[in-house]
Amino acid sequence: MKLLVTGGAGFIGSNFILYMLRRYPGYRIVNYDLLTYAGNPDNLTGVRAHQGYSFVQGDIADEGRVEEIFSGGLDAVVHFAAESHVDRSVKDPGVFVRTNVNGTQVLLEAARKHGVSRFVHVSTDEVYGSLGDTGLFTEETPLAPNSPYSASKAGSDLLVRAYVETFGLPAVITRCSNNYGPYQFPEKLIPLMISRAVKGEPLPVYGDGLNVRDWLYVEDHCSAIDLVLHGGRPGEVYNVGGNNERTNLQIVRTILEELGRPESLITFVEDRPGHDRRYGIDASKIRNELGWSPAYPFERGIRETIGWYRSHPEWLERIVSGAYRDDGSSRHGEE
C-alpha cells in the first residue's frame, strides 16, 4: 500500500504515521505538508530513517505540486492537512477557507483524476455546531458550524460528499471529537495547560470553564482511521468519540492535581466569541460496523500525556524558541 498522508507533520497526522509504520512496516507513506507554524518535523524523528517513509514539503492548494505527488502513483489518501485552531480562525478566517476548502478540492480533483482507491477525509464533530445539555451528535445530525474553522471544515466535508455523488470517488469522512496526546501544538487546551502548570504560570480558562468536550486519546483516533481506511464504506460518514465528556474546568483541575499545583493558578478570561457550549459524540456506527473501540480510558490517557510532556521538555522548548522551524525541513530529509 502506498499512502499519501497530508498534514503528517501536525499533531494527529504525525501520530498516525508513527502508528501506521509500527503496525504495517511494509507500507509506503508519503507525508505531504506545508510546514506551517503547526507542522513540526521533530514529531517524526522516530520514522525519519524508515525506508517506507518520505516527506515532501508543499501546499495542498498548489495544483502543480499536488499533481506531481499523485503522478508518482498512490493507492490511498488520508487527508489531515488543515488550519485547525478555532481562535486563529476568529482572527484570520481567510486562510482557513483557502487551506481547508480550496486545498481539499485540489486534493479531491487529483484523487479523482488518478483514480485512487480510497480517500479518507479527517473531519471534526465541530461541523455539527453546539449541543444543549442532552443528546449526542450522530452522522445524521445537520451541519451547523459556528466558527470560521468549523464552517471551513463543513465546506470541505460537503465537497467530499459531492465528489462521491458526482464522480464516484471512493471517499469516506470521519468526524472525531477533541483529541489529546503527545505532539500536540501547545496552543491547544491540554498541552497549553500542562506547560503553564509545570512552570507555575496562571492557567487562562475561557468564560465560566463549563464548555464540554468529548476527549479522545490520539492513538484511539488513529486506530479508528486505520479501520475506516481499510474497511469503511465509500460515501459514508463515521463519527469517532471517546464517550468521555468533561468540562474545560474538569480538565484543568485534573492537570493541576496530577502535577501537584494549586487551583489558585486558574484564571478566568473573557469567553471566545461563538464558543460552542457542548460537543458529544454517538460513535455507535463505527463501533458496530467496523468493531472500533477506544483502548485508553481517560485517566490513563491523561496521565500518559502529562508524563510525555514532562519527559520531553526539549520538544516544547524548541517550539517556544522557534528552533523547530529554523532547521525543520532540512533535518527532515525532504525529498
Q: For cell 502513483, what's the residue?
A: 73
* Options 59, 83, 125, 245, the catalytic residue: 125
Q: Which CB atom, from 61 or from 164, has the smaller least distance to ligand NAD?
A: 61
Q: Tell me the one-letter amino acid at 245.
A: E
Known catalytic membership, residue 83: no
Of the candidates 75, 98, 248, 267, which has an alpha carbon nearest to the alpha carbon of residue 170? 75
Of the candidates 143, 329, 125, which has an alpha carbon nearest to the alpha carbon of residue 242? 125
Q: Which CB atom, from 103 or from 301, has the smaller least distance to ligand NAD?
A: 103
Of the candidates 187, 237, 188, which has an alpha carbon nearest to the alpha carbon of residue 215? 188
Cβ neighbourhood burial of 161 (10 Å; 0-12, 13-18, 19+):
middle
Contacts to ligand NAD by CB under 6 A? 6-7, 9-13, 33-36, 38-39, 59-61, 80-84, 99, 103, 122, 124, 153, 176, 178-179, 185
Residue whose beta carbon is closest to ligand NAD: 10
* Options 59, 83, 109, 126, the catalytic residue: 126
Q: How far is the CB of 88 from ligand NAD (least distance, A)?
A: 9
Q: How far is the CB of 186 from ligand NAD (least distance, A)?
A: 11
Report the C-alpha gap between 311 and 295 in whole angstroms.
23
* Options 149, 238, 279, 309, the catalytic residue: 149
Q: How far is the CB of 304 from ligand NAD (least distance, A)?
A: 17
Q: How far is the CB of 65 from ligand NAD (least distance, A)?
A: 9
DSSP-derived secondary structure for 109-147: HHHHHHT-SEEEEEEEGGGG----SS--B-TTSPP---S
Q: Which CB atom, from 55 or from 80, has the smaller least distance to ligand NAD?
A: 80
Known catalytic membership, residue 109: no
Q: What number of other Cβ atoms are within 10 A of residue 236's Cβ? A: 16
Q: How far is the CB of 313 from ligand NAD (least distance, A)?
A: 20
Known catalytic membership, residue 299: no
Report the C-alpha gap between 332 and 40 in whole angstroms.
10
Q: Which CB atom, from 125 or from 203, has the smaller least distance to ligand NAD?
A: 125
Q: Which CB atom, from 176 or from 266, has the smaller least distance to ligand NAD?
A: 176
Of the candidates 88, 131, 89, 117, which has an alpha carbon nearest to the alpha carbon of residue 239? 131
Known catalytic residues are: 125-126, 149
